[in-house]
């Protein structure tokens, strides 16, 4: 009997190799090649040549066989299904689209299963839901269901018995049995927890391998499209924080959501990385409590410091998708004790901090290269957009000069290498959020044309063309002057 042939597959990118290497030749990842058995030989029958098939069916040249003009395609109203939580719906773009696939990833223990189980409870009163647990037993899921039922008020227009009748639970890892259950029930929503735990018996590889994840996701996608079932897939992450499995999994689904959070903080951030039916980089905020997740309808309160202003703090308005967030930036500048000063940033890219410090030293003459600089974003939020540059610069200068910004001041603007301020997007939305939280002064780049709108919000708009002018307007003193 011939020995079955094997090959090696990269778990990161899906590339194949005939022998083991420590480093993948395609993506450069180390120790990601796993051995798999070769599949049986495919059927030797070949497709007929296109010309031969056309002749056999007497197809007229220039005439379509199955396609149709786009004007003739019928339209149907898109009825989204609410998840039961406004923050979840915001990230999805307004709710779940029938026939769509949504991939939810996050670190172990962050609350992915809790979020989806709570949403399943809320949706079960209005639509049929199938929850496939491939990692936990039915008894374990029932325990969490009971715990969430005791505290969750989000059971819309239905009692507990009605929700339980519309909620079907299947503890199974065999893909074929899951597909049979989907065919029999035809639920409006199906949740797979998780896609890496499903196993296709026709494949020889282990669950969670590249081929297993790819084929299981493709089979689930086909049945979801065919019967208009909204499918929520839970995905694992690697130790680097990226979604585990082949990249084709992210291309296959309509939306990719990441569930993030600091294990030392109670809030959790649901972020849209990809969304074909809504805005990308949209943000939903939840708080983890003893009996489940609760929505945070005013997340700006999480990322603001105390009421008493202090030296080295500045307030910005960041935008995550279409949501403005008022965030406090904290900086500490102190004399260094080392040959090379230390630079540390939490919540913002450290290279961005280096660039802002270089601009301040060049155009304001501040000797920051002889000082340690520490920067942190309050609340543990990750701020990636350049609109936070002016707030970072103000916090650093305020700490260096031991100054306190006047209460009620927000700063929004991108800092160029020449010291100029560049305009940012969604400025009116940012100003509206700042005014709603009681801020009275806003330092922004010149040429916004929003003076009248800001006055209507009750904001004093201070426009500046460069970083020096902006800091003078914000601090009330010229930061380039000596202390004495």
201-233, pLDDT tens digit by residue?
A: 888 778 888 888 889 999 999 999 999 999 999
In the structure encoding, which two tokens stand for residue 455, read together? 């006055």
For 141, phi and psi rounded to 5 degrees? Answer: -65, -40
Q: What is the pLDDT of residue 1?
A: 44
Distance CA 9, CA 31 (A): 11
Q: What is the pLDDT of residue 52?
A: 56
Mean pLDDT, residues 125-140: 93
User: With bands split at pLDDT 50, 70 and 90, how would you rate the model's confidence at 244?
Assistant: confident
Distance CA 242, CA 282 (A): 18
Q: What is the pLDDT of residues 76-108, one digit of tens each?
A: 777 899 999 999 999 999 999 999 999 999 988
Choose the most confident range, by mean pLDDT, from 137-151, 276-290, 302-316, 415-429: 415-429
Mean pLDDT, residues 380-398: 92
Q: How many CB atoms neighbour CB 335 within 10 A?
A: 8
Span of 25-29, 59-63, 350-354 with lowest mean pLDDT: 59-63
**Beta-strand pair 283-289/292-295:** antiparallel
With vertex at residue 38, the alpha carbon angle to CA 42 and CA 18, rounded to the nearest 5 degrees, is 125
Length of the chain: 484
Distance CA 303, CA 405 (A): 18
Distance CA 184, CA 170 (A): 13
Q: Is 194 exposed, middle or buried (0-12, 13-18, 19+ CB in 10 A)?
A: buried
> Phi-psi region for residue 110, left (φ > 0), alpha (ψ -120 to 50) or beta?
alpha
In the structure encoding, which two tokens stand for residue 432, read together? 């509206």
- Decide if pLDDT at 348 tops 80: yes
Q: How far is CA 18 from the centre of its chain?
A: 36
pTM of the model: 0.77
| Element spanning 90, H or E | helix 86-92
- Decide if pLDDT at 25 tops 90: no
- Decide if pLDDT at 417 tops 70: yes
Distance CA 69, CA 53 (A): 23
Q: What is the pLDDT of residue 154?
A: 46
């Amino acid at each position: 009997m011939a020995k079955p042939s094997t090959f090696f597959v990269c778990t990161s990118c899906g590339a194949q190799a005939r022998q083991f290497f420590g480093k993948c030749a395609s993506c450069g990842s180390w120790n990601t090649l796993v051995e798999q058995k070769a599949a049986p030989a495919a059927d030797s029958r070949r497709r007929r040549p296109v010309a031969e098939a056309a002749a056999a069916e007497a197809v007229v040249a220039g005439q379509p066989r199955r396609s149709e003009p786009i004007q003739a395609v019928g339209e149907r109203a898109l009825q989204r299904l609410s998840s039961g939580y406004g923050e979840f719906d915001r990230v999805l773009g307004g709710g779940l689209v029938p026939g769509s696939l949504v991939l939810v990833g996050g670190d172990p223990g962050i609350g992915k299963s809790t979020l989806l189980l709570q949403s399943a409870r809320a949706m079960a009163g209005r639509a049929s839901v199938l929850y496939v647990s491939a990692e936990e037993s039915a008894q374990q899921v029932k325990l969490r269901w009971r715990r969430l039922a005791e505290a969750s008020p989000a059971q819309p227009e239905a009692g507990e018995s009605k929700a339980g009748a519309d909620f079907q639970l299947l503890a199974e890892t065999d893909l074929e049995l899951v597909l049979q259950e989907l065919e029999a029930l035809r639920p409006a929503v199906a949740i797979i927890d998780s896609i890496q735990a499903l196993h296709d018996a026709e494949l020889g590889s282990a669950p969670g391998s590249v081929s297993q994840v790819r084929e299981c996701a493709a089979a689930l996608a086909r049945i979801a499209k065919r019967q208009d079932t909204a499918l929520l897939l839970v995905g694992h992450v690697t130790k680097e924080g990226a979604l585990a499995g082949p990249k084709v999994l992210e291309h296959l689904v309509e939306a990719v959501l990441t569930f993030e959070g600091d294990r030392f903080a109670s809030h959790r951030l649901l972020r849209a990385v990809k969304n074909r039916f809504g805005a990308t980089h949209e943000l939903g905020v939840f708080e983890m409590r003893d009996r489940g997740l609760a929505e945070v309808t005013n997340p700006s309160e999480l990322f603001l410091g105390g009421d008493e202003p202090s030296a080295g703090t500045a307030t910005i308005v960041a935008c995550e998708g279409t949501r403005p967030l008022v965030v406090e930036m904290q900086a500490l500048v102190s004399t260094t004790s080392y040959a090379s000063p230390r630079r540390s940033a939490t919540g913002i890219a450290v290279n961005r901090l280096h660039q802002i410090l270089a601009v301040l030293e060049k155009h304001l003459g501040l000797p920051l290269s002889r000082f340690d600089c520490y920067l942190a974003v309050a609340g543990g939020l990750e701020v990636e957009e350049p609109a936070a540059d002016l707030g970072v610069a103000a916090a650093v200068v305020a700490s260096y000069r031991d100054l306190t910004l006047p209460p009620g001041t927000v700063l929004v603007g991108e800092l160029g290498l020449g010291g100029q301020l560049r305009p940012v997007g969604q400025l009116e939305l940012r100003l509206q959020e700042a005014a709603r939280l009681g801020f009275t002064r806003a330092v922004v780049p010149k040429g916004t044309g929003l003076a009248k709108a800001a006055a209507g919000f009750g904001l004093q708009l201070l426009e500046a063309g460069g970083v020096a002018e902006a800091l003078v307007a914000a601090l009330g003193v010229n930061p380039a002057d000596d202390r004495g």
